């Protein structure tokens, strides 16, 4: 595996063509925005580029991929993944492409190498920032569509610039997106200031069922599948719901566990500076960042809660 700089990645992309771009499972704004931006930038340079259809993309972000997708790879495609931290983060139908991915662009410091070469910047708040830098080096001039794709990635991975991963570079990229015509007010309203009634009901349920640990410094909440179905939330409603328990005064680290359709558990951990969310998730084969991390646990919800509580009692 070869480690690339931004300039190396730009050179590689300029030297190749016919791109198929991959996003990760349970796609968020960063992987959808990064893949859309990279695709648009490559097309601007006259290259053939498509985002491979990710069936898990929800309506909240699907508009970013309109006109950019194709169903599957073709002979001779140069395959690039964005914001994919490990092989397990690829959607199940993308797994046959393992061993064929030519370049991985990412920002997860705890990532697992699985491609021929990679550009990974763990200091960047979002993958979209890294994609922006690479496209600039390639001579791409952002239009509104590209800028909005990058802005969605940057803003969602920083909680609209509230999370501790936000840097001066993050703000610089956001400013350049604004200058390129991104509709900042409209996007912020849609992504951060608008809630469905179902999402608000879920937040109320979390308040009632939240358990505080270690004198209120840590919190844990387990959400059964049946509760999500009863309330009527969808995946867009649950987007970043894991940050909600962390907002309780005094809580420095919070774990949210969701029961999946197959009876296993999705773990999401959020933490303030001075705490490390990955200290919990790596114990279960996951990863992420110090402020936000996750893992998939092959345990039923009740057993997963006990296991996570035990680990949280040990971490600093």
Q: What is the mean pLDDT of the chain?
A: 96
Residue 41 has pLDDT above 80, yes or no: yes
Q: How confident is the model at residue 109 (pLDDT cuts 50, 70, 90)?
A: confident
- Per-residue pLDDT at 111 exceeds 80: no
Q: What is the pLDDT of residues 286-303, one digit of tens each?
A: 888 899 999 999 999 999
User: Does residue 316 register a pLDDT over 80?
Assistant: no
Q: Is the pLDDT of residue 153 over 90?
A: yes
Q: Could you tell me which residues are beta bridge partners of residue 115? A: none
Domain ranges of the chain: 2-192, 197-312
Cβ–Cβ < 8 Å for 6, 107: no
Residue 1 has pLDDT above 90, yes or no: no
pLDDT at 105 over 80: yes
pLDDT for position 58: 96
Instruction: Provide DSSP, 93-137.
Output: GGGGGTT-EEEEEE--TT----SSEEEE-TTSS-HHHHHHHHHHH
Find out whether 62 and 41 touch, Cβ atoms under 8 Å.
no
CATH tag for 2-192 (out of 2.40.33.20, 3.40.50.2300, 3.90.1640.10, 2.160.20.10) = 3.90.1640.10
Which listed CATH number (3.40.640.10, 3.40.50.10190, 3.10.310.30, 3.30.70.20) goes with 197-312? 3.10.310.30
Write down the pTM of the prediction.
Answer: 0.92
Q: How far is CA 91 from CA 61, 165, 273, in A?
A: 17, 26, 31
Helix orientation angle between 127-137 and 168-179, rounded to the nearest 10 degrees: 60
Q: Helix, strand, or coil here: 289? A: coil
Paired tokens of 135: 């496209």
Write out pLDDT tens, residues 223-275: 999 999 999 999 999 999 999 999 999 999 999 999 999 999 999 999 999 99
- pLDDT value at 155 more than 80: yes
* Distance set, CA 1 to CA 73, 137, 202, 205 (Å): 22, 23, 43, 46
pLDDT reading at 131 higher than 80:
yes
């Amino acid at each position: 595996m070869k480690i690339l700089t931004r300039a190396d990645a730009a050179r590689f992309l300029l030297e190749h063509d016919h791109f198929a771009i991959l996003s990760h499972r349970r796609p968020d704004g960063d992987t959808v925005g990064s893949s859309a931006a990279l695709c648009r930038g490559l097309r601007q340079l006259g290259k053939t580029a498509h985002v491979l259809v990710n069936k898990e993309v929800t309506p909240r972000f699907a508009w970013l991929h309109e006109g950019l997708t194709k169903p599957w790879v073709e002979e001779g495609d140069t395959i690039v993944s964005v914001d994919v931290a490990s092989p397990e983060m690829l959607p199940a139908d993308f797994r046959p492409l393992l061993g064929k991915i030519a370049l991985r662009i990412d920002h997860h410091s705890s990532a697992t190498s699985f491609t021929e070469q990679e550009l990974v910047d763990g200091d960047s708040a979002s993958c979209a920032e890294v994609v922006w830098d690479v496209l600039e080096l390639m001579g791409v001039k952002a239009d509104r569509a590209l800028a909005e794709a990058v802005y969605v990635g940057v803003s969602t991975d920083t909680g609209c610039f509230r999370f501790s991963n936000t840097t001066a570079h993050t703000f610089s990229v956001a400013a350049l997106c604004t200058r390129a015509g991104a509709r900042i007010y409209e996007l912020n309203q849609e992504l951060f200031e608008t809630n469905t009634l179902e999402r608000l009901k879920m937040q109320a349920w979390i308040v009632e069922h939240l358990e505080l640990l270690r004198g209120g410094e840590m919190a844990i909440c387990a959400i059964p599948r049946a509760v999500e179905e009863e309330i009527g939330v969808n995946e867009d409603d649950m987007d970043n719901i894991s940050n909600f328990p962390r907002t309780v005064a005094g809580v420095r680290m919070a774990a949210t566990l969701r029961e999946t359709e197959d009876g296993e558990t999705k773990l999401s951990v959020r933490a303030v500076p001075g705490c490390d969310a990955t200290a919990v998730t790596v114990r279960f084969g996951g990863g992420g960042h110090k402020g936000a991390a996750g893992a998939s646990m092959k345990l039923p919800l009740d057993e997963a809660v006990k296991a996570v509580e035990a680990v949280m009692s040990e971490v600093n």
